[in-house]
């Protein structure tokens, strides 16, 4: 065997090794690409799930806030009706005084509005 033949053998071995390494790299990149696609898909799924969960939480909080406001409004209505009943009772007890107070308030309002 000559030196040229030895170099040809080494060259062929190197080519085969390089070709094998390139094929292995291609396979690794293909697997990496698949893993990245799976990761992106899973991330999108989690993002959608979190978005739905966030929307549900916001909806629940809005509903709870609405219920609180509704309860407060109902409470204020009830208290207003009670005060109207108390006022009505006081007017029934002192009708002359109530009429004079109403006349005085009406006179003051008329004076204030006529200046403008």
Q: pLDDT tens, 54-67?
A: 667 777 788 888 88
Angle (nearest 5°) at CA 99 between 95 and 105 = 145
Say which residue the tokens 């799930």 belong to: 49
Q: How confident is the model at residue 87 (pLDDT cuts 50, 70, 90)?
A: confident
> Which pair of structure tokens corresponds to residue 11?
């060259």
CA distance 17 to 19: 5
Per the CB < 8 A criterion, the answer to whether 8 and 16 are in contact is no
Per the CB < 8 A criterion, the answer to whether 116 and 108 are in contact is no
Q: What is the mean pLDDT of residues 56-80?
A: 84
Single pTM value for the model: 0.41
DSSP assigned state of 59: H
> Which pair of structure tokens corresponds to residue 61?
């909080």
Please give the backbone phi and psi of residue 115, each rounded to the nearest 5 degrees, phi first: -75, -20
Q: How confident is the model at residue 99 (pLDDT cuts 50, 70, 90)?
A: confident
């Amino acid at each position: 065997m000559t030196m040229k033949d030895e170099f040809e053998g080494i060259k062929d071995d190197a080519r085969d090794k390089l070709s094998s390494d390139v094929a292995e790299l291609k396979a690794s990149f293909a697997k990496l690409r698949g893993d990245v696609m799976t990761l992106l898909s899973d991330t999108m799924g989690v993002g959608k799930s979190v978005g739905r969960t966030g929307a549900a939480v916001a909806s629940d909080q809005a509903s709870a806030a609405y219920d609180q406001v509704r309860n407060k409004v109902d409470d204020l209505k009830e208290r207003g009706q009670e005060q109207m009943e108390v006022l009505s009772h006081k007017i029934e007890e002192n009708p002359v005084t109530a009429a004079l107070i109403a006349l005085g308030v009406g006179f003051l309002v008329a004076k204030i509005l006529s200046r403008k």
